Structure 1
């Protein structure tokens, strides 16, 4: 069995960042050839405008897949890579690597907060993500109004708004969203 270039999955049309997660199964004994190929295709993608970074996650053993991750500035940058002759050339030159794509996910915006590492399950419906985000934002808003805003009244509006946005963003990303998505995991993705 040799690698097969998948049909181009539809790329989201929103203008935010796109994370492309690809799971590939590699036949035993062909891991080194696959790893060289994977590093090459990831580095090739990194040279494209709008590519923000990549990762390669080795199989945990047995039948577990390898994961390739690309981050793009937006859907157009992702589409440009997926439709590029460079990408097609990597798939045309992979005989003897014995790997097959088994899953692909494209995550945009808030979906990345709800993606379980190593999983290719679809994100929860947007209405569930909205409720979860509201539950995460609410305590930050209340605490910010009581504890932070009174200390920012002497600052110009643009500066105080920038401080509030930075603090809220850090708290959302590292504290409340991880906690809410953990607490609601069974409800979000039953």
Structure 2
């Protein structure tokens, strides 16, 4: 199977789909109901591993939907499903997709440098070790620096503040640095 970005999805690859949709002002409530319905349909679909909805960070910013599937077959099955088609048939036309990104397994995390994007991904246990090396300092820093300032927020809201920050730093700073640092270990064929 090939994703919309032309990436080859192997049989065992997990697929995570991120979709950003811009909603016309005044139609936010209708969109949220539509989004919850399509995510519920996706959740009930065979092979779905989870879904999520992130409300916009501010005015004129998009809503984000996340759908995670166990493999390419489950992802393709959802894309072609009558349930998905029915949800889009009920869309009111007051929202549209502005961005779509499909990530395959953990491999997407290791294509954050130009050199790594051209290599065969490392074995999964090495990816797990490298991810831990990258995320551990970020998690500790967030606990020490951010948590005291978030004490007034409900417990369920705190991760909504820290997770995007840690994820962004992980994606754009920590993992590229760790990948460069551990390059010879992660990609021994290049040595």
**How much does 1:128 deviate?**
2.0
Once the two structures are superposed, what CA deviation does each residue of 1:87-128 show, in whole Å capped at 9, x if it has no partner?
Answer: 000010122x6100011111002344269xxxxxxx665x42
Within the candidate set 132, 151, 176, 1:174 is matched to: 132
Provide TM-score, normalisation by structure 2: 0.61
Match runs of 1:114-153 below 5 Å: 127-129=115-117
Contact residue 12 and residue 75 of structure 1 kept, 8 A? no
Question: What pairs up with 1:150-169 in 2 under 5 angstroms?
Answer: none
Post-superposition Cα deviations, 1:34-86, rounded to whole Å, max 9, x if no partner, equal 01110110011111111000110111112211110000011110000010011
Residue 14, structure 1, aligned to residue 10, structure 2: yes
What is the root-mean-square deviation of aligned Cα atoms in Å?
3.2
Partner of 2:84: 87
- Whole-Å Cα distance in 1 between the matches of residues 8 and 65 of structure 2? 19
Runs of 4+ with deviation above 3 angstroms: 8-12, 168-171, 182-185
CA distance in 2, matches of 1:36, 1:22: 16
Which residue of 2 is the match for residue 109 of structure 1? 105
Determine which structure has more spread, i.e. the larger CA radius of gyration: 1
CA distance 1:11–1:72, change in 2 (3 Å): farther
In 1, distance between residues paired with 2:100 and 2:130? 27
- Partner SS, residue 41 of structure 2: helix
Aligned to 2:96: 100
Is the CA contact (8 Å cut-off) linking 1:50 and 1:72 kept in structure 2? Answer: yes
Runs of at least 5 residues in structure 1 that lack an aligned partner in the other structure:
1-7, 116-122, 138-164, 186-190
Is 2:45 aligned against 1:45?
no
User: How many pairs are equivalent?
Assistant: 138
Partner of 1:4: none
Indicate the SS of the match to 2:116: helix
Are the structure 2 counterparts of residues 114 and 40 from structure 1 closer, same or farther at C-alpha, using a change threshold of 3 Å? farther
- 1:41 and 1:90 in contact (8 A); partners too: yes
Task: Determine if contact 1:11/1:75 at 8 Å carries over to the other structure.
Answer: no
In structure 2, how many angstroms separate the alpha carbons of the residues matched to 1:28 and 1:103?
A: 19
